[in-house]
Structure 1
Amino acid sequence: MTALLPGFTPVAWALLAVAALIVGLSKSSMPGANTISIAIFASLMPAKESTGALLLLLIVGDLVALSMYRQHADWRALIRLAPAVLAGLLLGVVFLAFVGDTGVQRVIGIVLIALVGITIWRRAARRGGTEVSLFGRLAYGSLGGFTTMVANAGGPVMSMYFLAARMPVRTFLGTAAWFFAIINLTKVPFSIGLGLITVETVLMDLLLVPAVLLGALCGRWIAGRISQRLFERAVLGLTVLGALYLIVA
């Protein structure tokens, strides 16, 4: 088994463990934080291979989040997003098959900054209620599907959608848990077909699963104590950090 594991240094393994812990944390309390995990994995592995390796850990985090928040989901919002998300996901598959991902990451980062600005402006101007327009659903859904397939970076996009819909903390986390569990499981056969998931990455991820579980437990503790206002500010802040990473990476 050890012969099949990637030859990382002890420091690299420690960084991967931190990234895995952040995955668990992001799934149970801090959506968008997993962009930090994306950065760590991408710095230690080739970009496309890192996407496949991180996907399996994200699925573990999704399952843990479902065990915590599955009853709080807004299914109406999920169903209305589904067509646009699927279209974006398929576009991402085609993109990965033919194109590298550096340029599109910068575009995604710029779009995220714009979404944060629009969200803050709408709130300051007290525009809109809890209903997101058809155009908004199409834009958020297709971009979310595309970014999650290309770079596992759909979290910040969908966080902006859930904030725009003014979801309470637990509804936000439950809806996100179901959304990404379904989407990430859908991505697995595509990722295997594209060669992004290998025996090496599966064995590596098995060693990192305990860190995901620890992060999720820490996140559950935070989620039970954080206020709605602080939660929303944290989501916006993490989205900006994630966008900046995508722009400069």
Structure 2
Amino acid sequence: MFTEFAFYAAAIPAVAVAGLSKGGFGGAMGMLAVPILALVISPVQAAGIMLPILLVMDGISLVFYRRIFDRPTLAVMLPASILGITVGWLTAAYVKEDFVRLLVGVISIVFAVNYWFGDRLRAKPAAPNGAKGSFWGLLAGFTSFVSHAGAPPFQMYALPLRLDKQVFVGTSVIFFAVTNAVKLVPYFFLGQFDAANLETAAVLFPFAALTTIAGIWLVRVIDQTVFYGLSYLFVLIIGLKLTWDGALSVLAH
């Protein structure tokens, strides 16, 4: 188990960002948790520590959102996500994480910019679409497995539907609770869990619980228009971050 001050100086903010996101506030911003932790430990170990914490956050969020979700969206996206995780597992030895980050980053930027300069002015929400939902669900499962970057693909399908903010968050909570639970199997066989990682994760569980509840509270009090505006803004920020990291790594090689 980690005991160094530097580790917890990074771990506590990382868990706080993930917790607020899991509670529904900040959406894709939770993806910053692993990069923050990776400032002091390896990215692989950071992912191994964060997954049990994410599962605890999922459990807390499910208590609040288990009855508030959009069933058609989950019916389309969840099976595709599980297929995406399977593809990620089978291709784990061949897929370069840097290319995945770059791809998701560029798509996220285009998606957010399109909202601010066009989609935001559209009067009607997007209609549900099985083909689009399956595609983005597949990509969400794949990128979630490879680099914990499943939120932008999920939001690329779900945000334009313009669901009620709590229904949107509840749908996201259930989608990623199932996705993260399914990831346990391949992560176990790939050696992502060991005693030190699990003990460290357990120390951080209280911070996970408090920040997740704080995120749930913020979603309830924030105006829906502001909520969606912030969600797209966070997608843009994450897209820029992923594109920067991916491009640097690709160019370095």
Shift, 1:122, TM fit? 5.5
1:180: which partner in 2?
Answer: 176
Shift, 1:127, TM fit? 7.1
AA aligned to 2:61 is A
- What SS class does the counterpart of residue 96 from structure 1 fall into? coil
1:139 correspondence with 2:135: yes
Moved beyond 6 Å, runs of 4+: none
1:89: which partner in 2?
Answer: 85
- Partner Cα distance (2:72, 2:148) in 1: 24
User: Of 4, 9, 12, which residue of structure 1 is paired with 2:7?
Assistant: 12
- Partner Cα distance (1:197, 1:116) in 2: 35
Paired-residue identity, %: 25
AA aligned to 2:146 is V
Q: TM-score, normalised by structure 2?
A: 0.89
Shift, 1:9, TM fit? 2.9
C-alpha contact (below 8 Å) 1:22/1:212 kept by paired residues: no
Deviations 1:154-178 (A, max 9, x none): 1222123221111111101111111
1:27: which partner in 2?
Answer: 22
RMSD: 1.9
1:123 correspondence with 2:123: no
1:49 correspondence with 2:48: no
What does 1:176-215 align with in structure 2 at a 5 Å threshold?
A: 176-215=172-211
User: Structure 1: any 5+ residue segments left out of the alignment?
Assistant: none
1:167 correspondence with 2:157: no
C-alpha contact (below 8 Å) 2:113/2:236 kept by paired residues: no
- What SS class does the counterpart of residue 156 from structure 2 fall into? helix
Shift, 1:130, TM fit? 4.2
- Partner Cα distance (1:50, 1:119) in 2: 32
- Partner Cα distance (2:159, 2:96) in 1: 31
- Partner Cα distance (1:53, 1:17) in 2: 12
Number of equivalences: 244
- What SS class does the counterpart of residue 32 from structure 1 fall into? helix
User: Of 195, 205, 216, which residue of structure 2 is paired with 1:220?
Assistant: 216
